Structure 1
Amino acid sequence: MLSRDIGYAGALRFTTAHESSPTNDPAEKVMEMHNNSIGLKIRRSKGSDFALNSGQLKVLDE
């Protein structure tokens, strides 16, 4: 939705900056950056729910 609202480049800058905090858990950062990348790519071609519904996103077990 962010990519839809502010464009691909803006969403990429925002999500990268958001995950760059030194207090972020390294495993969570890797997961989030992966998911952000997938989401941004898929949003360009298939829509916002495709990645989640098709099992392409990573999640951490709690």
Structure 2
Amino acid sequence: MARVVGTIGKPNFDEGELADGFEVRWMSLVQAEECIRSVATNDYLGRFVTDRELTILEEAKKYL
């Protein structure tokens, strides 16, 4: 989550992130929540990441 000030630059992903298909996608909080909820993962760590990201978005909505 970020507020853009100035020109948007190119992300600097490491090799592992690039191999995993990381990308920057700009969207609203509601769209981000829907996007995260739509991801189905059987990965043990992935479930914790999903829970963490949803918690961050829920808390952010309280302040924005």
Write 1 or 2 for the structure with the bigger share of helix.
1
Which of 1 and 2 has greater Rg? 2
Structure with larger RCO (C-alpha < 8 A, sep 6+): 1
- TM-score range (shorter-chain normalised) is 0.3 to 0.5
TM-score normalized by the length of structure 2 = 0.44
TM-score normalized by the length of structure 1 = 0.45
